[in-house]
Amino acid sequence: MIEGKVSLLARSDVDTDQIIPKQFLKRVERTGFGEFLFYDWLRSGEIELEANPILVSGRNFGSGSSREHAVWALRQFGFEAVIAPSFSDIFYANCTKNGLLPVILPQEECEAIAAAGWARIDVDEQSVDYAAGVVRFEIDEAVRHRMLEGLDDIAMTLERGPEIEAFERAHATTVPGTTELR
């Protein structure tokens, strides 16, 4: 469950270089990106943005290059979910793999949620509850599981540990491997 105030970024075609500009991609850690979110826009006063749990934006959010740093910056700034009419495919996948919930809703619903200023997102029920009512959203079952359980790719693989071990046992060979010394 994600609930709280909603921030609005009333723009479409927001690309990853606007989310986190390239000059901040020199770090090898996954931390320290939140302070550089929308760096140029915020510093110039072009936009104002509060660190709320939910961000609502326009269509094609996260277009451009495939940088996970954009998702990390959004999360570290304070966002737990982004609601938009559409997302770039790669950005959407990066969100789901890094704990940021992408919610696709029609433009009218996005505008109504932004106007309400507060919402509750129930991943289990696949719904967004706000002042004007409740709207449902679609999410792949594997993504839903990942988001509900807080799993990354490694944790998803480890969930299949017994199956992996059974496969390895079933395909074990007594012939030495090619890299084994004799």
Query: pLDDT digit string (tens) for 36-53?
Result: 999 999 999 999 999 999
Positive or negative, the CA dihedral 73, 77, 83, 85 is negative
Does the pLDDT at position 176 exceed 70?
A: no
Question: Could you tell me the residue ranges of all domains in the chain?
Answer: 2-139, 140-172
Max intra-chain CA distance, the chain: 73
CATH class for the region spanning 2-139: alpha beta
pLDDT at 90: 93
Give the predicted TM-score (pTM) of the model. Answer: 0.85
pLDDT at 28: 76
69-82 in b/e form (b: 16+ CB < 10 A) is bbbbbbbbbbbbbb
**CA-closest candidate to residue 6, choices 111, 99, 143:** 111
| Helix-then-strand count for the chain, H and E | 8, 7
Say how far residue 140 (Cα) sits from the centre of its chain.
14
Does the pLDDT at position 73 exceed 70?
A: yes
Q: How confident is the model at residue 160 (pLDDT cuts 50, 70, 90)?
A: confident
The arithmetic mean of pLDDT across residues 153-161, rounded, is 74
Crossing angle of helices 141-149 and 89-97, rounded to 10°: 40
The better pLDDT of the pair 157, 60 is held by 60
pLDDT at 76: 96
